[in-house]
Chains A and B, each alone.
Chain A
């Protein structure tokens, strides 16, 4: 498990890993423009190519690579989405996607994938036994299938956790969630249809991310809400209690910090903040 940071056009990694033992520069990453990490691979985007490197083994060459031609390098990359397809969490790494899906972003997890199209429609596929695909049944889908329950409500952001999926709607200020079961003590029931996740007081969500069994969301007013499994402190609350209702993370308010972005690891949560000066 290692965490990549992009700075000075190269990648720093921290954490336990076979590649580098502590925070250090990944030498293969010099000059890269974007980075994406999964449990097994580090994917780097350069101006002329893409490469995926194995995190467990020290290899001289990337596990997978792809040349970027002029047309594809013009359109902005949104890893793990890339020209013609996306990077999956396990082999085969590169999976193609039909252009008619008009993919704008893709969220991948061990069991399933969620795709947001330019029209605001959401597609899901993969294993569905925990209801994470949002089709109302617990069966798997081999190919992208539109989440009909969200039809007519354009989404702007998608995220996937280990056994659940989340998306944010564009027009309204509320968050739609497709829940799988998150943690056997908190969620015994399985929810196979998207359900509205109540954040109160009501507010606009601008970013969301999922860990393996928790969800974190940032509001336009700079607050962080979390819910799900809490045993390892990933919810950022004073106790380790798991919750199924989103709860405000008081810490940032108390420290007068405005949360501007959030990314979840499997059992932790990373937050970008801006310090607020009280006049």
Chain B
């Protein structure tokens, strides 16, 4: 029976000589020396404590570099150094009889590298985290069987007609408007590439595309549910937004494991009242297993960029998450997988009635609270025409570039967005 360390060791270079440590001038020689010492410890047997300290020094030092200046300007080499630090820390945690807690810490460390670092050695940390996840699953299989069988199954069956009406009525009652046909986002069933391009893409008109993601494994072989997400990504660390909306002063971001996020903000075991949202996160790069459950919409081929340029984000949260009215610099296909969302769209032509923030940071966001607008401060808002809808599982909303959109989840929801040009 191979130990955890031998499995990790097997994916590392065979010897110290084959282990690359190349950096630009930006990384001081003293730091490179620290990295060399850590590398040496990977291939030699020494006392345990110095491994951890060495790794931590590299992590703390590069962490300071990552936090200096704006993120855009952080030299990629410092993010690579940070990843190496994570690698050495994982080695320190796992190399001698790690406890279950050590393994979870190692998973978290890999995630920090994936979130904040830059890929090293053919993305070795992605390989290692999968080894670690298998280890975690093995040890929790026996434990959790009893606990999670009680959790209600949250499936992805499309809502029955009655439920659908109920949800639309809910949305209507909250917005104090009755949905009229001319205000609804048009729905089209599996349009041809040509008709989508002619009728919606080129004239920049929003539409809900039906029937185009029915083939996703997320609806078939691996129906997405809370249990499924726990099993595939439960111990993985993800960024979570806390607070009702990102324009609020109390809004903040934190890092939690998927299990913690579900416990705290979805099933609300602790009775937390705050809203937590796993929003705008490239979860599918971090967890390849989930990437297998989705597909790139064919219509993206109508765009100019490459497949690699398409940004895929996960949006997972309880009912009540709100994205304030804002616009994005690319086209968006918003695919709804679990649950439903109320969405309102305004044309960029009516920007003058939407009172965008003046500040540089928020100039793509409207100051108006869509579902309870202060018409004394923002009188023109009442005149701005809009389209709205309730997006259901299986729907894909096309949001043309720069089109203003407001989103509120009506229940537990998981959406996948594709930003393309």
A residues contacting B by CB (< 8 A) are 1, 16-18, 39, 56, 110-111, 127, 129, 162-163, 212-213, 231-232, 266-267
Q: Kindly state the separation between the CA atoms of A163 and B65 in the bound complex, as whole angstroms.
A: 12
Interface residues of B in 342-393 (CB under 8 A from A): none
Q: Which residues of A contact B30 (CB under 8 A)?
A: 1, 16-17
B156 smallest CB distance to A (angstroms): 37
Q: Which residues of A contact B60 (CB under 8 A)?
A: 231-232, 267
A171 smallest CB distance to B (angstroms): 35
B12 smallest CB distance to A (angstroms): 27
Interface pair B64/A56, CB less than 8 Å apart: no
Q: Which residues of A contact B67 (CB under 8 A)?
A: 163
Q: Which residues of A contact B18 (CB under 8 A)?
A: none
Interface residues of B in 24-62 (CB under 8 A from A): 25, 28-30, 33, 56, 60
Interface pair A162/B29, CB less than 8 Å apart: no
Q: Which 6 A-B pairs have the closest CB atoms?
A: A16-B30, A110-B68, A18-B29, A111-B68, A1-B30, A212-B64
Q: Which residues of B contact A1 (CB under 8 A)?
A: 28, 30
Residue of A nearest to B57 (CB): A232
Q: Kindly state the separation between the CA atoms of A183 and B28 in the bound complex, as whole angstroms.
A: 23
Interface pair B29/A111, CB less than 8 Å apart: no
Q: Which residues of A contact B33 (CB under 8 A)?
A: 16
Interface residues of B in 268-320 (CB under 8 A from A): none
Contacts A/B (CB < 8 Å), 27 sampled: A1-B28, A1-B30, A16-B29, A16-B30, A16-B33, A17-B30, A18-B29, A39-B28, A56-B25, A56-B28, A56-B29, A110-B68, A110-B69, A111-B68, A111-B69, A127-B69, A127-B70, A129-B70, A162-B64, A162-B68, A163-B67, A212-B64, A213-B64, A231-B56, A231-B60, A232-B60, A267-B60
Q: Kindly state the separation between the CA atoms of A151 and B70 in the bound complex, as whole angstroms.
A: 30
Question: Secondary structure of the A side of the interface?
Answer: loop
Q: Kindly state the separation between the CA atoms of A212 and B57 in the bound complex, as whole angstroms.
A: 14
Q: Which residues of B contact A232 (CB under 8 A)?
A: 60
Residue of B nearest to A39 (CB): B28
B165 smallest CB distance to A (angstroms): 45
Residue of A nearest to B67 (CB): A163
Q: Kindly state the separation between the CA atoms of A232 and B54 in the bound complex, as whole angstroms.
A: 12
- Interface residues in B, total, Cβ within 8 A: 12
A241 smallest CB distance to B (angstroms): 16
Residue of B nearest to A163 (CB): B67
Q: Which residues of A contact B28 (CB under 8 A)?
A: 1, 39, 56
Q: Which residues of B contact A213 (CB under 8 A)?
A: 64
Q: Which residues of B contact A56 (CB under 8 A)?
A: 25, 28-29
Q: Kindly state the separation between the CA atoms of A1 and B29 in the bound complex, as whole angstroms.
A: 10
Q: Kindly state the separation between the CA atoms of A232 and B56 in the bound complex, as whole angstroms.
A: 10
Interface residues of B in 62-98 (CB under 8 A from A): 64, 67-70
Q: Kindly state the separation between the CA atoms of A111 and B70 in the bound complex, as whole angstroms.
A: 10
Q: Kindly state the separation between the CA atoms of A111 and B30 in the bound complex, as whole angstroms.
A: 22
Residue of A nearest to B28 (CB): A56
Q: Which residues of A contact B68 (CB under 8 A)?
A: 110-111, 162
B108 smallest CB distance to A (angstroms): 14
Residue of A nearest to B30 (CB): A16
Q: Which residues of A contact B70 (CB under 8 A)?
A: 127, 129
Residue of B nearest to A111 (CB): B68
Q: Kindly state the separation between the CA atoms of A39 and B25 in the bound complex, as whole angstroms.
A: 14
A139 smallest CB distance to B (angstroms): 8
Q: Which residues of A contact B29 (CB under 8 A)?
A: 16, 18, 56
B56, B64, B70: most-surrounded residue (chain A CB, <10 A): B64
Q: Kindly state the separation between the CA atoms of A213 and B60 in the bound complex, as whole angstroms.
A: 11
Q: A111-B68, A212-B64, A213-B64 are in contact. List 8 more A-B contacts (CB 8 A).
A: A17-B30, A56-B28, A56-B29, A110-B69, A129-B70, A162-B68, A231-B60, A267-B60
Q: Which residues of B contact A212 (CB under 8 A)?
A: 64
Q: Which residues of B contact A18 (CB under 8 A)?
A: 29
Q: Which residues of B contact A39 (CB under 8 A)?
A: 28
A90 smallest CB distance to B (angstroms): 10
Q: Kindly state the separation between the CA atoms of A1 and B56 in the bound complex, as whole angstroms.
A: 18
Q: Which residues of A contact B56 (CB under 8 A)?
A: 231
Q: Kindly state the separation between the CA atoms of A16 and B25 in the bound complex, as whole angstroms.
A: 16
Residue of B nearest to A267 (CB): B60
Residue of B nearest to A189 (CB): B252
A167 smallest CB distance to B (angstroms): 22
Q: Kindly state the separation between the CA atoms of A158 and B332 in the bound complex, as whole angstroms.
A: 50
A210 smallest CB distance to B (angstroms): 14
B417 smallest CB distance to A (angstroms): 27
A251 smallest CB distance to B (angstroms): 22
Q: Kindly state the separation between the CA atoms of A163 and B66 in the bound complex, as whole angstroms.
A: 13
A242 smallest CB distance to B (angstroms): 12
Q: Kindly state the separation between the CA atoms of A163 and B69 in the bound complex, as whole angstroms.
A: 10
B243 smallest CB distance to A (angstroms): 14
Residue of A nearest to B360 (CB): A139
Q: Kindly state the separation between the CA atoms of A104 and B103 in the bound complex, as whole angstroms.
A: 54
Residue of B nearest to A138 (CB): B361
A264 smallest CB distance to B (angstroms): 14
Q: Kindly state the separation between the CA atoms of A17 and B68 in the bound complex, as whole angstroms.
A: 22
A177 smallest CB distance to B (angstroms): 20
Q: Kindly state the separation between the CA atoms of A110 and B64 in the bound complex, as whole angstroms.
A: 10
A198 smallest CB distance to B (angstroms): 26
A222 smallest CB distance to B (angstroms): 32
Q: Which residues of B contact A110 (CB under 8 A)?
A: 68-69
A54 smallest CB distance to B (angstroms): 11
Q: Which residues of B contact A111 (CB under 8 A)?
A: 68-69
Q: Kindly state the separation between the CA atoms of A1 and B67 in the bound complex, as whole angstroms.
A: 19
B255 smallest CB distance to A (angstroms): 10
Q: Kindly state the separation between the CA atoms of A232 and B59 in the bound complex, as whole angstroms.
A: 13
Q: Kindly state the separation between the CA atoms of A232 and B67 in the bound complex, as whole angstroms.
A: 19
Q: Which residues of B contact A266 (CB under 8 A)?
A: 64
Residue of B nearest to A17 (CB): B30
Q: Which residues of A contact B64 (CB under 8 A)?
A: 162, 212-213, 266
Q: Kindly state the separation between the CA atoms of A39 and B69 in the bound complex, as whole angstroms.
A: 16
Residue of A nearest to B68 (CB): A110
Q: Which residues of B contact A162 (CB under 8 A)?
A: 64, 68
